[in-house]
Structure 1
Amino acid sequence: MPHTEALLFPLAMIALVAEAMTAALAAGRRKMDWLGVAMLGCVTALGGGSVRDVLLGHYPLWWVKSPYLLLLTGGAALATIGLAQFVHRFHGIFLVLDAIGLVVFTIMGCNVAMSMDQPFLIVVVAGMITGCVGGVIRDVLCNDVPLLFRAELYASVSIVTGLLYIGGIKYGLSPDVVIAAAVVVGFVFRLLAIRLKWEMPKFVFERDDH
């Protein structure tokens, strides 16, 4: 769906830069060297799409097909080293950009799966993987509990966004309208979840040996 990809491209580039920069700040907190900063930026921004492509057998991987993505994300991460004293103050802005990235990457992941005629469930999962897994890889490499596995609504936002997008396309609605609706709903859902501290139910198990 080249038309939909063209509509999402500018937002995706902004989101890639934002994710690479937030990953660089995480690397700085872990006192990584410059190579580690650049690699973590690339892995975080491009990891979700890469895992999706490997699982679906969709080759070449998106950054192999478009090598400039490595320069974009790695460069953004390295630039953050010099801008860290200013960047870390804009936490709210990065939360907004991360929310945009989540919904945009989800839709792009759904597009890839639909272009391969994958079944409905796989399309939803492909969208979620694209939107969420980069952050999981970042957190694992930084020895943190991934955001996806905590109570905060993140994967849920991706799933809702994917369902709205897939449903609209399947019903033959205008792709422009469907994209706009899915992006707005997913974006607002994510920001409300952050603002109102909406959470998934937690499973707490404590063994009592007494």
Structure 2
Amino acid sequence: MWSLPSDSALYYLSLIALAAQGMSAALAAGRRNMDWLGVCFLGCITALGGGTLRDLLLGHYPLVWVEKPIYLVLSGGAAFLTIIFARLVYRLRVAFIVLDAIGLVVFTMTGCDVAWQMDASLPIVIVSGMVTGCAGGVLRDVLCNVVPLLFRSELYATVSVVTGLFYATAFGLQINAQVWTILTFVLGISLRLLAVHYKWEMPKFDFTGDERPGPPS
């Protein structure tokens, strides 16, 4: 049964990411005037939704939050504390972006770890990382009735793929896991924040259906 070693850098980053995603969900819920229970519920879904979907797709049981219910307490508790302290945050948009980026990058790495330890092929490892990193944010945005960041914002899924590829290169090489985890984290966070700052985006498909050929002359 897969679990992160309690002394690994990724384990501690994962705890931070759970809290960060719970907080990002609370900020999103606040914009929709949700009640306190809804905020905590959304925090748990955002923090644990990606990992849950990954485990269901890979047949990996027990689900991570079933095995460790403390993860529910951490993500829901972080969302609840955000209700109390949100008014002290001067720039909520910046806080939301940073918190979401932390969750995206760290959960991508944990998703890659799960698939790799199940002896999955490299493409499945990368997809597992992307699902873990992105799905929680998509669920958050859908439940808040907004178009998910994944589909409308600066490089998002691309950041997850690049992070996963970079992180997975260490699996087949004899590289210090702790150092490589930190390097991957820095790379992923930097790429996501640079994409937001410079508005790097993937090409968009713009088709309205109005481009009909004129009558033959």
Structure 1 match to 2:45:
43
**What do residues 88-124 of structure 1 show as CA deviations (whole Å, max 9, x unaligned)?**
6354344333322222111111000011001111100
Structure 1 match to 2:107:
105
Query: Which structure has more helix as a fraction of its residues?
Result: 1
Q: CA deviation at 1:191?
A: 1.4
Q: CA deviation at 1:202?
A: 0.4
2:118 to 104, 116, 139: 116
Structure 2 match to 1:53:
55
**What do residues 164-199 of structure 1 show as CA deviations (whole Å, max 9, x unaligned)?**
111222133222332232222212111111111100
Going from structure 1 to structure 2, the CA distance change for 1:145 and 1:159 (only over 3 Å counts) comes to same
Structure 1 match to 2:215:
none
Gapped regions of structure 1 (runs ≥ 5)? none
Going from structure 1 to structure 2, the CA distance change for 1:151 and 1:89 (only over 3 Å counts) comes to closer
**What do residues 140-171 of structure 1 show as CA deviations (whole Å, max 9, x unaligned)?**
11111111112520110110011011122213
CA distance in 2, matches of 1:148, 1:164: 20
User: What residue identity is the alignment partner of 2:172?
Assistant: K
Q: Pairwise CA RMSD of aligned residues?
A: 2.0
Structure 2 match to 1:79:
81
Sequence identity, in percent?
A: 58
Q: Please identify the structure whose Cα radius of gyration is greater.
A: 2
**What do residues 21-73 of structure 1 show as CA deviations (whole Å, max 9, x unaligned)?**
12112112212222211110100011111110111111111111110111111
**Which ranges of 4 or more aligned residues in structure 1 deviate by more than 6 Å?**
none
Gapped regions of structure 2 (runs ≥ 5)? 213-217
CA distance in 1, matches of 2:56, 2:181: 25
2:11 to 9, 14, 17: 9
